[in-house]
């Protein structure tokens, strides 16, 4: 753990109180001068840290920047997801970075964030617009014991974790549109891109890429995008702390991943079903050049959608683009 993570952790633990230089130096086994030097560096990064000769150090506010040390300090130890956090100011796509880490044998749980992406991608070959410091653009590496056809379970897990974190932090209750869109008032706020490497019978690794529109204002969206997309700031009418949201999402993801590994997918599926606006509707699903019409009935055991087709057959589908038939 870096010294900054430990200092920020101790300052946060002190809450509205202070912690003295002597206490910090004793707890972290470094000199008071070293603590002072790090406090200066943290101030340069935008942390407002009060230093009083009588009481010591007190954290007054943190910047709305994604800083690996800050995210690690907020998250605390002991979680799988977010055990290793890396932040890029700019990259092509965080999924590309995680894919490379996966091939290099990095442990599962690493989370890669970027302040902006130059080639952010969405599902079905779409572009994902990722403007600087306006959202959360990040990817996770997982190595679950799943068969490839069960990988959709992780997308389902991610959707409810994202939904719950957003609901807890903003008080808004987003809906889920199958397979993985998080909508507020019918407009897309977040999406998930799952990419995987697998043998015939076993997933080797999975890259879960998540994009959350957080602090864009209405004028940040092109007129075209504004018809279908929104941000948490637009919907809640105030700016949202991105580090707080990032940490809330990682915590929820970790607990849902634990539930999944403990064989409790049915609980996850129930929660997903209760917020999914696609279920119970007649839909048109476009997938792999075909168009299937039917009624979205339920979520299957493996995470696929069960569609009652026009011919009365129940067909499991794992991907595609859904339009509700009005």
Residues forming contacts to ligand BTN in the complex (CB under 6 A) are 93-95, 117, 120-123, 126, 128, 130, 137-139, 181, 191-193, 209-211
Query: What's the min distance (Å) between Cβ of 140 and ligand BTN?
Result: 10
Cα(169)–Cα(23) distance, integer angstroms = 33
Burial 185-212 (b: 16+ CB within 10 A, else e): eebbbbbbbbbbeeeeeebebbbbbbbb
Query: What's the min distance (Å) between Cβ of 212 and ligand BTN?
Result: 8
For ligand BTN, give the closer residue by CB, 74 or 177: 177
Q: Would you give the end-to-end CA distance of the chain in angstroms?
A: 54
Query: What's the min distance (Å) between Cβ of 98 and ligand BTN?
Result: 9
Query: What's the min distance (Å) between Cβ of 89 and ligand BTN?
Result: 15
For ligand BTN, give the closer residue by CB, 88 or 128: 128
For ligand BTN, give the closer residue by CB, 181 or 252: 181
Which residues does residue 232 pair with via DSSP β-bridges, in sequence order?
none
For ligand BTN, give the closer residue by CB, 42 or 129: 129
For ligand BTN, give the closer residue by CB, 56 or 191: 191
For ligand BTN, give the closer residue by CB, 170 or 194: 194
Least Cα distance to 189 among 216, 156, 207 occurs for 216
**Does the bond joining 81 to the residue before it have cis omega, within 30 degrees of 0?**
no
Sheet holding 203-213, edge to edge: 85-91, 111-117, 135-142, 203-213, 187-198, 181-184, 175-177
Query: What's the min distance (Å) between Cβ of 317 and ligand BTN?
Result: 17
Nearest residue to ligand BTN on Cβ basis: 191
Query: What's the min distance (Å) between Cβ of 122 and ligand BTN?
Result: 3
Radius of gyration of the chain (CA): 21
Query: What's the min distance (Å) between Cβ of 117 and ligand BTN?
Result: 6
Residues 6+ apart with CB under 8 A from 134: 213, 214, 215, 216, 220, 231
For ligand BTN, give the closer residue by CB, 94 or 254: 94
Query: What's the min distance (Å) between Cβ of 52 and ligand BTN?
Result: 41
CA distances for 159 relative to 47, 52, 156, angstroms: 32, 45, 5
For ligand BTN, give the closer residue by CB, 139 or 278: 139
Does residue 182 sit in helix, strand or coil? strand
Q: Most distant CA pair in the chain: distance in Å? A: 78
For residue 228, what are its two tokens?
């279908």
């Amino acid at each position: 753990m870096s010294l900054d993570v430990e200092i920020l952790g101790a300052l946060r633990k002190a809450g509205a109180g202070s912690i003295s230089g002597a206490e910090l130096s004793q707890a972290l086994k470094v000199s008071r001068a070293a603590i002072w030097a790090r406090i200066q560096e943290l101030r340069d990064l935008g942390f407002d840290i009060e230093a009083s000769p009588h009481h010591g150090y007190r954290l007054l506010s943190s910047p709305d920047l994604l800083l690996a040390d800050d995210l690690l300090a907020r998250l605390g130890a002991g979680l799988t997801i977010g055990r290793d956090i890396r932040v890029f100011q700019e990259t092509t796509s965080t999924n590309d970075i995680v894919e490379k880490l996966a091939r290099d044998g990095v442990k599962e749980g690493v989370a890669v964030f970027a302040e902006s992406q130059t080639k952010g991608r969405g599902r079905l070959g779409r572009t994902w617009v990722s403007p600087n410091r306006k959202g959360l653009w990040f990817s996770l590496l997982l190595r679950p014991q799943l068969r490839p056809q069960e990988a959709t379970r992780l997308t389902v897990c991610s959707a409810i974790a994202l939904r719950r974190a957003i609901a807890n932090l903003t008080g808004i209750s987003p809906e889920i549109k199958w397979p993985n869109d998080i909508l507020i008032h019918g407009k897309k706020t977040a999406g998930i891109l799952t990419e995987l490497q697998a043998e015939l019978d076993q997933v080797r690794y999975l890259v879960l890429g998540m994009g959350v529109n957080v602090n864009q204002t209405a004028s940040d969206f092109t007129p075209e995008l504004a018809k279908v997309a929104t941000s948490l700031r637009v919907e809640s009418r105030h700016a949202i702390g991105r580090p707080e949201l990032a940490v809330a999402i990682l915590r929820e993801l970790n607990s849902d991943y634990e539930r999944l590994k403990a064989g409790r997918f049915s609980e996850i599926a129930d929660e997903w079903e209760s917020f999914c606006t696609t279920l119970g509707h007649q839909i048109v699903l476009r997938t792999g050049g075909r168009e299937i019409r039917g009624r979205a009935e339920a979520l299957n055991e493996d995470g696929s959608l069960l569609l009652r087709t026009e011919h009365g057959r129940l067909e499991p589908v794992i991907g595609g683009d859904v339009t509700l038939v009005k």
